[in-house]
Each structure stands twice: as structure tokens, then as C-alpha cells.
Amino acid sequence: MKNLIKILGVALISSFAFTSCSNDDDNNRPSSTFELNANDFKGDINDGEVVLNSGTVYKLTGKLVVNDGATLTIPAGTRIEGTSGTSYIVVAQGGKIFVNGTSSNPVVMTSDKATKAPGQWGGLVVCGKAPINKGLTASAEVSELTYGGTVTNDNSGSIRYLRIEYSGFAYNSEKEFNGLSLFGVGNLTTVEYVQVHEGADDGFEFFGGTVNTKYLVSTSNEDDQFDWTEGWNGTNEFWFGKLGLGRGNRGIEADNNSSNHLASPISNPTVNKMTLIGLGDQGTESQALKLRVGTKANFNDLVLSNFLIGFDVQHSEGTGYVLDGTLKATNVKFDNIPTKTKGRDTEGGTVDIESIYTENTSATGAGNGTATPTWAQGWTVGL
């Protein structure tokens, strides 16, 4: 009997050890040949896994590329400081990034300048293999790396509890970094609890792909708080966007494809539970949502506050989608929005798009109306 118990015990231990190892592959990545220098953090990670130290401040002095087959892991509390406009992090197709922040100890990517301002460094760029409508593949505008493909469930890693500050350096009038740029990123990639604060361009921009997101905060970015184009299709919830610094453009600017409004796949994301807060009368750019060049979308539970226009739909494809119900918003609460809708066809003619929304004065948007949502408290700034 004792021998039987001993045998069973060994079998159980062996089974547990096997299960633990098989479910913990992420902890068994090989080390990398990359030479890590915290004071000169740049270069190409070509193999294995580079794991940063949360107690070290990393000076990002140039372009850091996580190449195909390589992994960059950033533990909770890590601080990365961009030192110039040309310093940025980019994950190439086949590379992976794991940002493992927590609500009490987020990862922070910021500027190293004593006096902070938008545009002091680049930002974070991720390139995946999911479909886009610019071609089978394309070259990312701020890293010149390839993105796009046919892998809808592509996996570029996991980004959780990350704050990106003072990004958005402009190379020229045509090329400018966003805080977080997602180029053809697939839907096995995790993007949750991310804030982009006081960037010089957009907070978040999606260039095609199928990535889904939750709990995004975009504050005081100088262009749009959220932007998408090139056929992005993702499911999202809990977005909070708030303009600041006395300037900025829209809450959302959304496109399909400016060269071909009917290019496939057509941009058609779902966004549930969103709050967008503007600056009141900020001129012609004071639109909570600017939806143009053929994008579709499905919104639900929105709070729109302090913009001159709520929904501004441009071009005949978009106004047609409003009429057939494939571009719509349900349960919308308007707060200080003098003009709820504005529609124009491709020739500039006025189109009635009031059917784009259904109103609900009890909508809570990102969770707390125009106030800071509970889920955004503690790890964010500027709220």
C-alpha cells in the first residue's frame, strides 16, 4: 500500500510539473545576444528575449527595433525616456513586446527633458501581419518597416498598463509619430489600460489590422485623440478621450482609404462605452467624431461633450452607410453639443444623417460620464 501511494504521489508530481511547464512557455524564452545598455538604449533585438529591469531608467537614444523572432519584455514600474525626436521603439512583423505594467505600477515611456512638451521623442510602433486595404502589405510611415498580410489572428504580444507621454516627433510635414501606432496588428495581440498624454499628433492610430482594445485613455494630444484608417476592424470598449492644452482637433478622425473609399477590407470597428470631451468652440476642427472616406463603424453608449459638432460624416459612401445602418451610434448622450449631426456627400452637398444616432440621456460612456472613469484612476496623469 505504501509503495502504491508513493507511486501515485510521484505520478501526480510529474503530471503537475508537466502541466506547469506546458502552460508557462513565456518563461522559457531563450536569452538574447542583444547588448543592453541602459544609458544608450537603441539598436536591433534580433533573437531571444530582452528583459528590462524595473529599477533602471532606460535612456532611449535612437531607434530600438524588436525584429522577427525576438521579444522585448518590460516589467511593471519600468521607465523609458526618449532623448530625441528620432528615439522610438518599433516592433517588427514577427517580433513581440510584453509591457507588464500594473494599476499601481504602470510602465512609463516619456521624455527625458526637464521641461516637458509634446513631440520631444517618437513613440511606440507595432507592425503586424493582419489585413490592410492599402495593398497586401505596405511600409509604415514612421519606421519604414513592412506591415499587413493575411494573418487576422497575428500576435505581437501584450501591452497592459502603459503610459506614453510627450511623443509625436515630426520628421516632416508628411511623417509624424503618434503615441501608439498599430500597423496591421492582429487580434491575438492584447492592448489594454494604455494612456497617451500630451503628444504632438494623434494619441492612438490604427492602420488596418484586426486588433481589439480595452481601457484606452487619450488626453491633451494635439491632433486627434483616436484615429483609424486602411481597413481596421476591431472590437473595443471603454475609451476615454479628452482634449487639453487649449488646442487639439477631434475626438475621433476615422477613414477607410483616401485613394479608394471602397477598398477592402472596409474599416468597420465596434466601440462600446466611450467618452469624448472637447474644448468648446475650437473652430472648424471641433467635431467629436469626423467619419469620412468610406469608413463604417458601430458605436454604443457614448457621451459626447463640449464640441461644436457631434457626428460629422463626409463623402457619399459614409452618408450611404448611415442610411443603410452600417454606420451607426446607439445610446448617445450629448452635453453642450450645439450641432448633433452634419452630413456632406462627396460633392459637398448637405445630407441628413440624423438617423446615425439614437439618444439616451442616461448613457455613461466610458463609465462615469464626463468624469474620470474608475478604471482610469491611479495609473494615469492629466485627469
**What is the distance of C-alpha 155 from the center of its chain?**
15
Q: CB atoms < 10 A from the CB of 93, how many?
A: 22
What are residue 205's DSSP bridge partners?
A: 181, 227
Tell me if 185 sits within 8 A of 128, measured CB to CB: yes
Quote the pLDDT of residue 141: 87
Interior angle at CA 124, CA 118 and CA 128, nearest 5: 145
Average pLDDT on 31-58 reads 97
Lowest-pLDDT range of 42-51, 71-80, 128-137, 283-292 = 283-292
Residue 51 CA to residue 243 CA, distance in Å, equals 35
What are residue 74's DSSP bridge partners?
A: 99
Residue 168 CA to residue 243 CA, distance in Å, equals 16
Is the backbone of residue 228 left (phi > 0), alpha (psi -120 to 50) or beta?
A: beta
* pLDDT higher than threshold 90 for residue 29: no
Q: Report the candidate in 251, 341, 356, 230 with the shortest Cα–Cα distance to residue 293.
A: 230
Give one DSSP letter per residue of 167-224, joined into a string: ---BSSSS-B--SEEEES--TTSEEEEEEEES-SS-SEEEESS--EEEEEEEES-SS-
* pLDDT higher than threshold 70 for residue 210: yes
Residue 135 CA to residue 107 CA, distance in Å, equals 34
Tell me if 82 sits within 8 A of 88, measured CB to CB: yes
Residue 46 CA to residue 36 CA, distance in Å, equals 13
* pLDDT higher than threshold 50 for residue 11: no
Q: Report the candidate in 297, 269, 301 with the shortest Cα–Cα distance to residue 353.
A: 297
Lowest-pLDDT range of 116-130, 215-229, 271-285 = 271-285
CA pseudo-torsion sign 24, 27, 160, 33: negative
Confidence tier at 254 by pLDDT (50, 70, 90): very high
Total number of residues shown for the chain? 383
* pLDDT higher than threshold 80 for residue 175: no
pTM reported for the whole predicted model: 0.92
Q: Report the candidate in 343, 324, 340 with the shortest Cα–Cα distance to residue 332.
A: 340
Interior angle at CA 36, CA 31 and CA 42, nearest 5: 120
pLDDT tens-digit map of 178-209: 999 999 999 999 999 999 999 999 999 999 99
* pLDDT higher than threshold 80 for residue 271: yes
pLDDT tens-digit map of 63-78: 999 999 999 999 999 9
Averaged pLDDT score across all residues of the chain = 92
Quote the pLDDT of residue 283: 67
Helix (H, G, I), strand (E, B) or coil at 354: helix
Quote the pLDDT of residue 26: 52
Half-sphere exposure of 116 (CA within 13 A, CB side): 15
